[in-house]
Amino acid sequence: MAGDDVLKELTFKIADIAKSSDTAARIGDDEFAILLSNTN
């Protein structure tokens, strides 16, 4: 699977589990951050 295809698949997987109040961002070539809101 090409790199771009992997990133697209990862995006769909994150969207499936993230809440609308969460934030996901790509911060580097292969680095990602997910900010989870309303957690204890």
Q: In whole angstroms, what is the distance from residue 30 CA to residue 40 CA?
A: 28
Is residue 40, in this structure, part of any structural domain at all? no
Residue 26 makes CB contacts below 8 A (sequence gap 6+) with: 7, 32
Query: What count of residues does the chain have?
Result: 40
Indicate yes or no: pTM above 0.95.
no
Q: Specify the pLDDT at position 3.
A: 80
Please give the tally of structural domains in the chain: 1
Q: Specify the pLDDT at position 1.
A: 57
Is residue 12, in this structure, part of any structural domain at all? yes
Contact 14, 34 (CB under 8 A): yes
| Domain limits for position 14 | 3-35
Is residue 8, in this structure, part of any structural domain at all? yes
Amino acid at 28: G
Tens-digit pLDDT profile for residues 1-40: 578 888 889 888 888 888 889 998 888 877 888 898 888 8
Largest Cα–Cα separation, the chain = 37
Indicate if the alpha-carbon torsion angle 7, 33, 13, 15 is positive or negative: negative
Q: Specify the pLDDT at position 31.
A: 86
